[in-house]
Amino acid sequence: MSSDFNPYLPYKKEFSLLDMSLGTNVKVNDGVITGGDLNVIDPSGTKLTLIQGDIISYPLSAPERIKVSTPQIQNATTDGTIRVIRTFEPTGTTFTAGAKRLLGNKSNNGVKITYTYRDEDIVDLDENTLKISYYDSTIGSASTIETLVDPANNTLEGYISHFSETAIKGTPLPGPSALENWNLYE
């Protein structure tokens, strides 16, 4: 296990990175992001982009550390349309963008999250319908956010304004009709 302190990073934009098999921890000072843009990249390829001027606010008494938990890729719900769940902590952390940003033709006020997925993560889902969503583990359901899908690079891009669990949600591919199934057994 490596140390989570890096003395070579500038103090003003102090952050430390600890790569672990189950996730990434990054320390970011509370307040306005200064000294340039900051990308928090999880070993799974999930990326959170904080642009200079963005404001990060942690809940009282929470450590000023962004934690992305990357559990083994599996479905943690019986809903087969929800995949690749990630946990961002501390819960209650909020973001305010320094400026409005466009995603497609819609304006967003948050920080950019980029999900990278593997083909095996979305088996039986229509890739063009994939959305990043806020996942509520207490009810096993997900609420989608505006998402830009890049099937060529297997990425999803959206904007979030707070931390919680997120997931990929998609529409199942159409299966064979009952008549087609009947013909299979003739």
Q: Where are the domains of the chain?
A: 17-184
> Residue 16 to residues 6, 31, 40, 41, 55: CA-CA distances in angstroms?
6, 17, 10, 12, 18
pLDDT tens digits for range 151-185: 999 999 998 888 888 888 899 888 764 444 444 44
Q: Which of 128, 155, 154 is nearest to 49 (CA)?
A: 155
**What is the per-residue pLDDT across 136-147, written as a single tens digit (0 to 9) for each?**
777 777 788 889
Alpha helices in 11-111 (DSSP H): none
**What does the alpha-carbon distance between residue 11 and residue 130 come to, in Å, rounded to a whole number?**
39
Q: HSE, CB side, 13 Å, CA atoms: give it for residue 96.
A: 7
Burial of 21 (0-12, 13-18, 19+ CB in 10 A): exposed
For the chain, the farthest-separated pair of C-alpha atoms sits apart, in whole angstroms, at 72
Helical spans, DSSP H, in the chain:
178-184
pTM for the structure as a whole: 0.69
Residue 70 is predicted with a pLDDT of: 57
16 vs 28: CA distance, rounded Å: 8
pLDDT, tens digit (0-9, with 9 covering 90-100), for 12-64: 223 333 333 345 556 666 677 777 788 887 777 788 888 888 888 888 877 77
Selection from 182, 80, 174 nearest residue 121 by Cα: 80
